[in-house]
């Protein structure tokens, strides 16, 4: 496992799912992690508190709000003097046929998944100039292989991938040592599924979330991973083992996009 001792990391969407699993792995490898999520009760960009259990500090951050990014990263830099790693895991899903998707829902998904990714990369690159660092954004296999009934989500993740790759090229072309990559999971067993009506129906029909995931797998949805499976790929990409990798999209989907 890579040694991240002395590295300072910021993770969005860190209260659950892939973000929480990534937080655990980075702390285990010695990083000081600022764990950012809207679920943190402190005022946006105001209070960072060290939590029990080692190098984890909490920060409330709405990824759609540029002032939150400015304030949050300013706090990290004031306290640590640097930012070495940014993992942008925050995102939302949506499931409805395109003709039934409202403009408000379209904008809600794009604001979180794409605008949030833009602000993450923009302010991450600024914070890492000129010393360098590694940024990983969490995309989706649905941004590579379209998902029927999820036009807003698939579009937001496809655009996020191009955004990250473009930013990686900009950094490389000007000699800025900031690596930017995308990890795009297939199905992952995260709390996000609980928000979707069809998944709630499956849970009621089959008796448990595990049974609902098994039904989705059987219906051709591909294998569902645990969050830590995705976090391991993120850990690799932010480590020195990936020093020559930038502008890449890594599907972690057991071949779903083939």
Report the catalytic residues. 153
Name the 3-class secondary structure at 176. coil
Structural contact between residues 193 and 152, judged by C-beta atoms closer than 8 angstroms: no
CA–CA distance, 142 with 228 (Å, rounded to integer): 19
Q: What is the DSSP letter of 53?
A: S
Instruction: For 124-153, give one letter per residue: b (16+ CB within 10 A) or e.
Output: bbebbeeeebbbbbbbbbbbbbebeebbbb
Structural contact between residues 83 and 127, judged by C-beta atoms closer than 8 angstroms: yes
With CA atoms as reference, report the closest residue to 97 among 142, 141, 153: 153
Structural contact between residues 121 and 71, judged by C-beta atoms closer than 8 angstroms: no
Structural contact between residues 40 and 47, judged by C-beta atoms closer than 8 angstroms: no
């Amino acid at each position: 496992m890579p040694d991240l001792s002395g590295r300072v990391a910021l993770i969005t969407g860190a209260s659950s799912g892939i973000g929480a699993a990534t937080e655990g792995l980075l702390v285990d490898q010695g990083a000081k992690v600022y764990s950012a999520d809207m679920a943190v009760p402190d005022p946006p960009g105001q209070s960072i508190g060290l939590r029990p259990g080692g190098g984890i500090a909490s920060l409330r951050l709405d990824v759609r709000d540029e002032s939150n990014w400015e304030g949050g990263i300013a706090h990290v830099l004031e306290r640590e003097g640097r930012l070495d790693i940014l993992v942008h895991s925050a995102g939302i899903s949506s499931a409805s046929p395109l003709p039934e998707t409202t403009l408000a829902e379209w904008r809600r998904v794009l604001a979180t998944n794409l605008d949030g990714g833009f602000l993450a990369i923009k302010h991450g690159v600024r914070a890492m100039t000129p010393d360098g660092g590694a940024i990983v954004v969490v995309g989706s296999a649905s941004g590579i292989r379209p998902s029927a009934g999820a036009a807003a989500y698939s579009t937001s993740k496809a655009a996020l991938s191009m955004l990250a790759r473009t930013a990686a090229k900009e950094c490389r072309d000007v000699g800025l040592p900031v690596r930017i990559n995308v990890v795009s999971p297939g199905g992952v067993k995260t709390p996000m599924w609980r928000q979707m009506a069809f998944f709630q129906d499956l849970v009621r029909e089959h008796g448990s979330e595990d049974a609902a995931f098994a039904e989705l797998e059987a219906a051709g949805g591909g294998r569902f991973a645990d969050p830590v499976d995705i976090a391991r790929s993120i850990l690799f990409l932010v480590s020195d083992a990936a020093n020559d990798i930038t502008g890449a999209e890594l599907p972690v989907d057991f071949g779903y996009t083939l």
